[in-house]
Amino acid sequence: MKEMPHTPTCFVCGEAKLNKRTLGLKLFWDEATKQVVIPFVPDESWCGYEDMVHGGILAAIIDDAMARATKMESQDLYVTAKMELLFRKPVLLGKSYRACGKVTTQKGRKVFTEAEILDENDLPCVSATGLFVLVSQSKGETKTEAI
């Protein structure tokens, strides 16, 4: 796997000197499976309920996995239009996990994705699907196509 470049101010993969709240995760591209892989071990600052990771943090990680997969398919800018998550089992503090995201299909300006967070036994904890839309820029404005 090849480490991917990060966005310095990103909540998921940023640099602490530019975003003190970043998770600081490393992102990898697995060429063989054509997916983004984000390994992580949650700490107590990620807590929702006692010893369990907050669902919003898991959503952010899974969103990043899918968004970065779109970037590997195209250098154009795509943004999240819709994301659906299924929380299958708790993600616990101090354990090893990985998020994996990939593009499933592209139809014009829309890219469909899927992702999972897997535990150290490769069992799914969170599953997701996403829809990303192409951002067009004209005359200094950024706009997305209606879904």
| CATH code assigned at 6 | 3.10.129.10
Collapsed DSSP state (helix, strand, coil) of residue 81: strand
How far apart, in whole angstroms, are the C-alpha atoms of residue 85 and residue 70? 18
Please choose, from the candidates 37, 31, 117, 39, the residue with its C-alpha nearest in 3D space to the C-alpha of residue 73.
Answer: 31
How far apart, in whole angstroms, are the C-alpha atoms of residue 116 and residue 61? 10
Q: What is the pLDDT, as a whole number, of residue 97? A: 98
Q: What is the pLDDT, as a whole number, of residue 139? A: 45
Helix H segments across 81-146? none
Q: What is the pLDDT, as a whole number, of residue 7? A: 87
How far apart, in whole angstroms, are the C-alpha atoms of residue 144 and residue 97? 33
Number of domains, the chain: 1
Mean pLDDT over each residue of the chain, to the nearest integer: 91
Q: Which amino acid is at 133?
A: V
Q: Give me the domain span that covers residue 111.
A: 2-144
